[in-house]
Structure 1
């Protein structure tokens, strides 16, 4: 994503704080060659490599989760 220099924030602590205070997002992925978007709660966490990751929950009744194995990439807004 293009971010103009004046709007670019590289301060990791400010970014983490923003995510923690705004833990709601839209997750977009592909299902059968169509885009699918779901609103969901997110939390900032750390994986086993020490990298920041977003962790969320999607309802089992939502069919979007069934496609993650074949299409694991998502866009979180």
Structure 2
């Protein structure tokens, strides 16, 4: 909680298995209440590892959306 507000950290991830645990351990949990990981169709075990290290909310895209979710340019 920060000033009475719930704080949620959102981690976008793509093939992040090698760095995920280190990144997760650096989150200031005295301020952050929950973590959401959004795995953009990684080819490694990013989603599985996220669950193993304690991330409860894991969103896994079936196809890679890319930066910005593959929004069309104007």
Greater strand proportion: 1
Q: TM-score range by the shorter chain?
A: under 0.3
Higher relative CO (Cα under 8 Å, sequence separation at least 6) belongs to: 2
Task: Give the TM-score taking structure 1 as reference length.
Answer: 0.25
